[in-house]
Structure formats: structure tokens, C-alpha cells
Structure 1
Amino acid sequence: MDISRIPTGIPGLDAMLKGGLIPGRVYLVKGAPGTGKTTLAVHFAIAGVANGENALYVTLEEPAENLKTDMRLLGFDLNDPHFTLIDATPTAERYVLISDFFEEFASNIEKMADAIKRQFQERRYTRIVIDPITMLKLTATKEMDYRRAFLSFIKTMMRLRTTVLLTSEMERTDIEEYLVNGVIELKTFSMNGRLSRGIRITKFRGSAFDDAIRPYEITERGIVVHKDRVLTLP
């Protein structure tokens, strides 16, 4: 039986995923700063918008205006009416103005889930991005409490029948990787004195997938994954 798929907006990555992500599930994109996690997440959200879907993007680290400017340079219009951008960053100069968003979305993962459910009272979203989940993990005082809250968050998102993409800058994401349905890892390597970028899928429940490390580039039109090439590490 064929499983329905939704595109990530990056053809080479969709090929690695055997057609795209399985809808209604939660996925993690992990990588060090500068590897392109936010760009990949925007690809995913805008692919839905281009298909007439509603996408909700919660930014917890990069102020919304900066994100809009950076993505505009790559050809992404974040002002589309189908794209809802929530700025939940705690930056000092904007904190007073957007304290409600910070308190609702970023103070802990339980409040994030509740805030998203309230957003669904206004419109249905088929795609959600939380960028990065790292900020919410840092608010947890006990690992076990965070684990329970994260599992509850996943169950809530699945009940909403929405596809969620989380980003993380942490090298160790044991709990998240164990509980989510799929993990995409972005890495940089120094090879022959040059910087190389590699993308690999380390987990994808319910489907076969390409587990090779494929080279990718961040171009003036976003991320390009070279699905027919393998990155050979030294």
C-alpha cells in the first residue's frame, strides 16, 4: 500500500525520503549553527503555502523581521497570507512589545502546545515549524519532566493532524530523536582545506530511506541536495 507523502520543498531531500515526509507526524532537523536548519524549515513551510496550505512558523531565536529579510534574499516571501509567523524571541528591545507571544510559546513546551491549539481555533494548519526546540529544552529543570512534556506535545500535534518540523542545535538530542518520527541531520566537514556540507537521514519511521550522506549547498535560491552524489569522508 502506498503511503501519502508531502514534499519538503527540496527535491533532492524528497528523493532521499522516497517521495517526501509522511504527513501528520513530527520530525527533527538537527545541526550546528550555520548549517541551514532554518532555511530547510522555511523550504518545508513555503512548499505547503505554494500548495494552498496554511503554515505556522514559530521563531524562538531569530527575530521575525530578520528572518523575513534573510529569507527574502533566497526568494521566499514570508508575507504570504497562508504563512503565519509568530515571533516568540525574548530579545530585550522587543520583549515588552511581544511578551505575550514569548510567554505563550517559549516559556515551556506545555505552553507551546496550548498556544498552538489556540491558533487552530482561528485556522487549520497542515504544517508547523518550531525553530529551534532547543530554546524550550533549556527551560526544563528536570530531564524526566521534559521527556513527559515532549511526548505529550507529540501526541497533541498528532491529534491535530498536522506535520511538524522541529529544529535543534544540540549535538545530543537523545529524547527528541527517540520520540520523533524522523531525524534529518545537517553537518559540515573540512575536506582538503574546504568546507563541505552533508545531509543524512538517520531515522524515518514507516518508510525506507536513503541513509547515505549526500552533499548539499546553500545557494541564492535556498538549499540544493545532490541526491546522486555521496559525500566520502576522509
Structure 2
Amino acid sequence: MITARISTGIPGLDIMLNGGLIPGRTYLVKGAPGTGKTTLAMHFAMAGISNGESVLYITLEEPGENIKQDFSRMGFDVYNENFTLIDATPTTEHYVLVEDFFESFAKNLNKLTDAIKEQFKTKRYSRVVVDPITMLKFTSSDELEYRKAFLSFIKTMMRLRTTVLITAEGEQADIEEYLVNGVIELELFQKEGRLERALKITKFRGSGFDNVIRPYEITENGMVVYPDKSAL
């Protein structure tokens, strides 16, 4: 029996995943700043939009208008009516103008989970992006409490039958790695005096996958992964 797959929006990455992601599960994209986590997340979101799906994108770090402007210039359909972008960044403007709205999404992980559930009462989203989950981790002073909240988040997303992609800073994603269904790591390294990028899949439950570290680039049209080349 062949498991149904959905596209990440990046053909080379889909090849590495043996056809794409298994729907209805939660996946983690981790990496240092500048590796392209948000770009990969936006490809995932736009793959849903191009397929006629409704997508919920929650940004907790980069202001929403910046995201729309930057990715619109790259050709992404971020103004599509089926693309809902929630700006939950902790800026001065948000605290002044929409404090309650910000708090409902970004106070902590349990609040985020409840807020997403509320969003689903008005629209059925097949894909959800949280970028980055790291911001919510900083609000929790107790690791066990955060672990319980994250597990509750995953179970809630499963009940909502949505596919979730979360991003996290590389060194801040230890708990999430254990609980998600798949992990994609983005890396930067120097090679012959040049800054290179490499992608690897370290976990993908329910499927085989390409375990070779592959190179990728960030271009004016987004991320390109080279599944037939080795980063080494």
C-alpha cells in the first residue's frame, strides 16, 4: 500500500522524502539564522495554495507585512484569499493596537494551540505553519511543562487533521525533535572560501528517505534543492 503524500513545494526535497510529506502530521525544520527556514516554510504553504487548499501561517518573529512584501517579490502568491497570515510578533505596535490578539497566539504554547483551534471553527485549514516555535519556548521556564504543552499541540493538530510545519533555531529544538514525525535540518558551512548550504533529513516516521546530505540554494525564486548531488 502506497502512503499518500503532499508536496513541500520544493521538487528536490520531495524527491528526498520519497514523494513528499505524509499528511496529517507535524514536521520540524531547524537551522541557524539565515539558512532559509522561513523560505522552506513558505514553499510548503504555497504548495497548498496552488492546490486549492486553505493555509494558516503564524509568524512569531518576522513582521507579517515584511514576509508578504519579501515573498511577493519572489513570486509567491501571499495575497491569495486562501492564505491566512497571523502576525503574532511581539512588536510595540502590536502591544498597543492589538494586545489581546497578540496574547491569544503568542503568550505561550497552550495559548497558541487554543487560538489555532478557534481559527478552525471558521475555516478548515489543511496546512499550518508556525514560524518559529522557538519564540514560544522562551516563554516557558519549565522544560517539563513545555514538553507537555508541545505534546498537547501535536495531538490537537492530529485531531484537526492538518499537516503542520514548525521552524526552530538549530540549538533550541531538542524537545521538538523527539515528538514530531519528521525533522529537516538546514546547515551553513564554508567550502573553499565560499559559504555553502546543505540539507539533511534526520527523521521521517512511516517512510524511507534519502539520508545523504544534499546541497541547496536560496535564489530569487526561493529554495532549490539538488537531490542528485552531495554536499560533501
Class of the TM-score when normalised by the shorter of the 2 chains: over 0.9
Q: How does 1:199-210 map to 2 (within 5 A)?
A: 199-210=199-210
AA aligned to 2:220 is E
Local SS of the residue matching 2:97: coil
Instruction: For residues 148-195 of structure 1, give each alpha carbon's deviation from its aligned partner in whole angstroms, at most 9, with x where no partner exists.
Output: 110011000000000000000141422100000000000000011000
The aligned residue for residue 65 of structure 2 is 65
Instruction: For residues 45-99 of structure 1, give each alpha carbon's deviation from its aligned partner in whole angstroms, at most 9, with x where no partner exists.
Output: 0100000000000000011111111111211121100000000001113322232
The aligned residue for residue 12 of structure 1 is 12
Instruction: For residues 105-127 of structure 1, give each alpha carbon's deviation from its aligned partner in whole angstroms, at most 9, with x where no partner exists.
Output: 11000010100000001010000
2-side partners of 1:210 and 1:10: how far apart? 15
2-side partners of 1:156 and 1:69: how far apart? 32
Q: CA deviation at 1:44?
A: 0.2
AA aligned to 1:19 is G
The aligned residue for residue 164 of structure 2 is 164
Counterpart check, 1:36 vs 2:41 = no
Local SS of the residue matching 2:103: helix
The aligned residue for residue 211 of structure 2 is 211
- Runs of at least 4 residues off by over 2 Å: none
Local SS of the residue matching 1:146: helix
2-side partners of 1:92 and 1:77: how far apart? 28
Counterpart check, 1:152 vs 2:152 = yes
Local SS of the residue matching 1:4: coil
Counterpart check, 1:143 vs 2:143 = yes
Q: CA RMSD in A?
A: 0.8
The aligned residue for residue 123 of structure 1 is 123
Q: Could you tell which deviates more after superposition, 74-83 or 50-59?
A: 74-83
TM-score by length of 1: 0.97
1-side partners of 2:71 and 2:172: how far apart? 28
The aligned residue for residue 226 of structure 2 is 226
1-side partners of 2:184 and 2:49: how far apart? 22
The aligned residue for residue 82 of structure 1 is 82
Identity percentage of aligned residues: 68
Given that 1:86 and 1:101 are in contact with CA atoms closer than 8 Å, whether structure 2 keeps it comes out as: no
The aligned residue for residue 45 of structure 2 is 45
The aligned residue for residue 55 of structure 1 is 55
2-side partners of 1:144 and 1:129: how far apart? 24
Local SS of the residue matching 1:95: helix
Counterpart check, 1:185 vs 2:185 = yes
Q: CA deviation at 1:101?
A: 2.6
Given that 2:58 and 2:88 are in contact with CA atoms closer than 8 Å, whether structure 1 keeps it comes out as: yes
How many residues align? The count is 232
